[in-house]
Amino acid sequence: MNQSGIIRVETVRPRILIARPDHLGDVLLTVPAAVALRSAVPGAHISFLVTTALGDVVRRCPDVDQTYTLPFPRLASPPDPAAWSEVVRRNVGMLRGRFDLVVLSRPDDPWSGELAVAAEIPVRVGYATPGMESFLTVALPFHEEGHVVIQTLKLIEAAAGLFGAKVVADDRAAAGSFAPTPADEAVAEEVLLEAPASGPRPVVFQPGSGWPLKNWGPRRWGGLAKEIRRRWGLTPLVPGGPGEDALVAAVVEASEGAAHGLAGRLSVGALAALYRRASIVIGIDSGPIHLAVMVGAPVVGLYGPLDPLKWGPWCPPDRRRVIRVELPCSPCDCIFDPPCGIPIEPACCTGITVDAVLAAAEDLINSRKSGHVVI
């Protein structure tokens, strides 16, 4: 801290840790912060701290120099402070003395807060939310409105300011911030060779998400596949993540053979490699949509309960279309206990029609072919 009371970090090559123990989509929406930080502070050594399951995902992000993982508690589980304190005790040594600053990017993350204090990271930047202020040396007021990427960039801006640097938000910078490995690329090529009539620039569906409340039913995906086959002569590909085999099978069955299932075939890296080849990715509000954005694919996002102004694809308008239904209760931003009381296929999801999705997809593809950018 200097004489004016403002914290300044004086170092030639600052060592910065960004903590985000969260789901796939939340972590991917934090990566643009690393891109912006790299641009603002070119000499910084940037690390991420994520859940064990997402370590290999972040390691494919070129703007992240090092990735640390821990067995963070499940976010929806009741906290067990004693169990986490034991995790901190066993693992704090891997962080102690390695960082000048940590950005606690999740607004409610006492786990990383406790770890950062125990690791004696001198500067800890985060949001002044209940239960978090005691961990922070730089606490910013938190406001719910605005895109989650912008929310994180506010923290990054505060962190960069400690090094005398300025952050510039750029939604074009997300493309290329995830790099599939050669092995991932080989799997994607193999899938395209096997898939009937998918073409070198396939249409890819992403029907699943981590929250059933968001999903669009298999019958609708099947109808969309049939229309794409009829209009474009292409067979949409339907990947599926862990636990989504039945969903993929239901979509393929509803398509009456118009779609090709890839359940269990693709890692996150191989999925990204497939997206990179896609003419368009059509999917639910979910982590994979943000992954598609990161490899430069045009996306059509189907949004139900969550607000696309907050959770939408982080890319320029010429690479995205968002579909949602205008309802008095939507977006409610509730995925645990929506006000409508409907836990599966609420009206904000079922109201999205096949025709609306097709129209958005055709508009996006045609605008890109013509070079016309829709704002």
Q: How far apart, in whole angstroms, are the C-alpha atoms of residue 276 and residue 190?
A: 14
Please tell me the least confidently modeled range out of 6-10, 16-20, 46-50. 6-10
Q: What value does the mean pLDDT of the chain take?
A: 91
12 phi and psi angles, rounded to 5 deg: -75, -40
Residue 134: in which H helix or E strand, if any? none
DSSP result, 170-225: -TTTTTTSS---HHHHHHHHHHHHHSTT--SS-EEEE---S-GGG---HHHHHHHH
pLDDT at residue 312, as a whole number: 95
Mean pLDDT calculated for residue range 271-290: 96
Comparing 128 with 334, which gets the higher pLDDT? 128
Q: What is the pLDDT of residue 278?
A: 96
Beta-bridged to residue 68, according to DSSP, are: 49
pLDDT of residue 344: 85
Contacts of 158 (CB under 8 A, 6+ apart): 125, 138, 140
Q: Span 8-35, mean pLDDT?
A: 89
Q: Outline where DSSP puts E strands in the chain.
A: 15-19, 45-51, 66-70, 101-104, 123-127, 138-140, 203-206, 237-240, 260-263, 280-284, 299-302, 320-323
What is the structure's pLDDT at 5? Answer: 42
- Give the predicted TM-score (pTM) of the model: 0.92
> Running DSSP on this structure, what letter comes out for residue 343?
S
